[in-house]
């Protein structure tokens, strides 16, 4: 259901998306002075949140963030009207919505707001009683901490997630993989290896948020995390090889992950093979036509700066032409 609705949203213009969101947000409340929260209205909210999560994955936060933030406010405001029996379910949906707003804020280069929102999401997850969700949001905080170079914090969040009992096998793999990366950055190399070894050998194909909060766990993600651990521990060649294994496995909907993976490959391979690195960078820039993520473009700018020792080369001249053409559109 989430994937089907996402596919429609991805094709619609902004007016159509906003019309859909308004309809979904008001489901079950039209004509009432105080909204009535029912299992059906919670299910509609859940479907909408999941669709918007997939939309943000594909096209970036510039398009999706206003819609996600509206859904976050809707879910949060409905909690006060929610019958006690239904509050755990609505709290779970609210946790997902707030966490999605956090990711969108991070993508808009506001990590402080993202951190505050992840804290709020965790509170909603606690109120829901869903331990898989609680572990997942600690993994989210781990991810943000690594991305903002707060490696001690990332390690602490990894410890916290591992201490929570989970039931979803995908979540168990997600927290182990992300703990391995956090521990590698925090120089806890033995712990990093232990967590990589704890990952199941039977990783499933990607799924959608309606199936698992850890929906992104798949073979491509395992290769990507393994690459990070190898890079941090000094094996740049092994890290590049792991990324190359990851790339063809990434879902076509996860445009940002495709592009950021290519940019990581650029940074790993440029000193040895500039032509290969420049080709990967051109592919990443072309993907930025589809996903207008500010964080993706910042990643590109930082990567291009690292290539400055080779300014004047044919490979970088061609790359700059492609980047200028994409940015001008």
Span 253-263, pLDDT tens digits: 889 999 999 99
Give the residue from 261, 253, 183 showing the smallest Cα distance to 227.
261
Q: What is the pLDDT of residues 66-103, one digit of tens each?
A: 999 999 999 999 999 999 999 999 999 999 999 999 99
* 251 compared with 88, residue with greater pLDDT: 88
Please tell me the predicted confidence (pLDDT) of residue 282: 97
The pTM (predicted TM-score) of the whole model is 0.89
- Give 16's pLDDT tier (boundaries 50, 70, 90): low
Please tell me the predicted confidence (pLDDT) of residue 14: 54
Cα separation, 29 vs 8, whole angstroms: 24
Percent of the chain with pLDDT over 90: 81
Evaluate the CA torsion angle 125, 131, 135, 140 in order and state its sign: negative
| Residue appearing with tokens 């959608």 | 208
Assigned token pair, 85:
């029996």
DSSP 3-state assignment of 191? Answer: helix
- Give 291's pLDDT tier (boundaries 50, 70, 90): confident
Give kind and range of the element (H or E) at residue 177.
helix 169-185
**Taking 80 as the threshold, does the pLDDT of residue 196 lie above it?**
yes
**Taking 80 as the threshold, does the pLDDT of residue 30 lie above it?**
no
Question: b/e per residue, 152-183, with b = 16+ CB within 10 A?
Answer: ebbbbbbbbbbeeebebebbbbbbbbbbbbbb
**Taking 60 as the threshold, does the pLDDT of residue 145 lie above it?**
yes
Contacts of 63 (CB under 8 A, 6+ apart): 14, 17, 55, 56, 292
Please tell me the predicted confidence (pLDDT) of residue 327: 82
Secondary structure letter of residue 83 according to DSSP: -
Please tell me the predicted confidence (pLDDT) of residue 290: 87
Contacts of 329 (CB under 8 A, 6+ apart): 289
Sort 83 into a burial class: Cβ within 10 Å, 0-12 / 13-18 / 19+: exposed
- Give 202's pLDDT tier (boundaries 50, 70, 90): confident
Please tell me the predicted confidence (pLDDT) of residue 131: 98
**Taking 90 as the threshold, does the pLDDT of residue 206 lie above it?**
no
Question: What mean pLDDT is reported for the chain?
Answer: 91
Cα separation, 203 vs 221, whole angstroms: 10
Please tell me the predicted confidence (pLDDT) of residue 33: 63
- Give 28's pLDDT tier (boundaries 50, 70, 90): very low
Secondary structure letter of residue 123 according to DSSP: H
Evaluate the CA torsion angle 252, 254, 256, 259 in order and state its sign: negative
Give the residue from 248, 246, 262 showing the smallest Cα distance to 303.
262
Percent of the chain with pLDDT over 70: 90
**Taking 60 as the threshold, does the pLDDT of residue 130 lie above it?**
yes
Cα separation, 24 vs 130, whole angstroms: 24
Please tell me the predicted confidence (pLDDT) of residue 64: 93
Cα separation, 171 vs 169, whole angstroms: 5
Please tell me the predicted confidence (pLDDT) of residue 292: 83
**Taking 70 as the threshold, does the pLDDT of residue 192 lie above it?**
yes
**Taking 80 as the threshold, does the pLDDT of residue 2 lie above it?**
no
Task: Quickly list DSSP for 220-264.
Answer: HHHHHHHHHHHHHTT-HHHHHHHHHHHGGGS-TT-HHHHHHHHHH
Do the Cβ atoms of 68 and 101 come closer than 8 Å? yes
Please tell me the predicted confidence (pLDDT) of residue 19: 54
Give the residue from 265, 180, 251, 244 showing the smallest Cα distance to 218.
251
H runs (alpha helix) in the chain: 2-11, 14-25, 39-59, 61-78, 87-107, 111-128, 131-147, 151-162, 169-185, 189-198, 219-232, 236-246, 255-269, 274-287, 294-306, 314-328
Q: What is the pLDDT of residues 104-129, one digit of tens each?
A: 999 999 999 999 999 999 999 999 99
CA angle 175–179–185, rounded 5-degree value:
155
Please tell me the predicted confidence (pLDDT) of residue 27: 44
């Amino acid at each position: 259901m989430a994937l089907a609705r996402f596919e429609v949203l991805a094709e619609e213009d902004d007016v159509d998306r906003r019309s859909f969101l308004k309809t979904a947000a008001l489901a079950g409340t039209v004509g009432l002075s105080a909204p009535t929260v029912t299992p059906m209205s919670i299910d509609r909210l859940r479907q909408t949140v999941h669709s918007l999560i997939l939309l943000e994955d594909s096209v970036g936060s510039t398009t999706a963030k206003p819609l996600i933030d509206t859904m976050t406010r809707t879910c949060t405001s409905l909690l006060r009207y929610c019958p006690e029996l239904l509050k755990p379910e609505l709290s779970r949906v609210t946790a997902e919505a707030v966490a999605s707003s956090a990711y969108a804020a991070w993508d808009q280069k506001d990590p402080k707001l993202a951190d505050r929102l992840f804290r709020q999401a965790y509170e909603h997850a606690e109120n829901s009683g869903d331990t898989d969700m609680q572990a997942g949001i600690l993994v989210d905080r781990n991810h943000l901490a690594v991305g903002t170079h707060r490696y001690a914090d990332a390690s602490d969040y990894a410890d916290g997630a591992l201490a929570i009992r989970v039931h979803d096998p995908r979540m168990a793999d997600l927290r182990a993989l992300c703990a391995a990366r956090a521990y590698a950055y925090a120089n806890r190399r033995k712990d990093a290896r232990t967590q990589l070894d704890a990952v199941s050998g039977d990783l499933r194909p990607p799924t959608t948020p309606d199936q698992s909060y850890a929906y992104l766990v798949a073979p491509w993600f395992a290769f990507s995390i393994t690459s990070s651990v190898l890079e941090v521990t000094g094996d740049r060649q092994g890290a590049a090889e792991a990324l190359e294994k990851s790339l063809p496995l990434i879902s076509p909907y996860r445009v940002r992950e495709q592009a950021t993976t290519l940019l990581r490959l650029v940074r790993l391979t440029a000193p040895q093979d500039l032509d290969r690195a420049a080709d990967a960078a051109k592919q990443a820039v072309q993907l930025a036509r589809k996903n207008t993520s500010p964080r993706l473009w910042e990643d590109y700018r930082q990567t291009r700066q690292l290539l400055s020792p080779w300014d004047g080369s044919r490979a970088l001249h061609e790359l700059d032409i492609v980047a200028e053409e994409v940015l001008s559109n």
